[in-house]
Amino acid sequence: MGIIPVLSIGNSGPECGTANYPGNSENVIGVGSTDINDSVDYFSSRGPSKDSGAIKPDISAPGVYVLSASNSGPEAYEVTSGTSMAAPQVAGAIALMLEANSSLQFEDILWSLRESADSGNVLSSVDLKCEQPGRTQIYPNNYYGYGRLNVRKVRG
């Protein structure tokens, strides 16, 4: 099977080219953050990757006001926001995919995430200023990647 690297791209937005290492690397699944309205969060970093010029994030997931474990005590929780809250949701979707089909490889998983991502409901808020001049294809883009994670549509 192997390791499936899922990494947040950072919280240095909203400027273009703010996707951070290691989430901006080509051979990882870089994750951006969306809010309750499926809009990219103002803080979510944007691509392109400074290293390779690749589109980043690869996919986005909800990352605002997420209930998470806290280090303030053995039974402590807190509500927090960031791409580090979005990336575990993608990792969870991948765990479900691997449970259904343990022979999946990185390329299979990345393809499935890209193909199943929701993009139609966020088109109106896409700002193409982070794209190469003259580019007309809306998805993938350097705000959402291929779109927002939709676990119900992911296939293993």
Res. 129: pLDDT tops 80:
no
Res. 123: pLDDT tops 70:
no
What is the band of 127 on the pLDDT scale with cuts at 50, 70, 90? low
pLDDT for 126:
55
The whole-number average pLDDT for the span 52-64 is 95
The whole-number average pLDDT for the span 6-30 is 95
pLDDT for 124:
47
With contact defined as beta carbons under 8 Å apart, do 113 and 119 qualify?
A: no
Res. 51: pLDDT tops 90:
no
Find how far residue 52's CA is from the centre of its chain.
Answer: 18
pLDDT for 116:
95
Nearest to 90 by CA among 63, 68, 108: 63
pLDDT of 79-113, one tens digit each?
Answer: 999 999 999 999 999 999 999 999 999 999 999 99
* Range with lowest mean pLDDT among 9-18, 32-41, 64-73, 127-136: 127-136
Q: Is 21 exposed, middle or buried (0-12, 13-18, 19+ CB in 10 A)?
A: middle
All domains of the chain, ordered by start, with CATH? 6-130 (3.40.50.200)
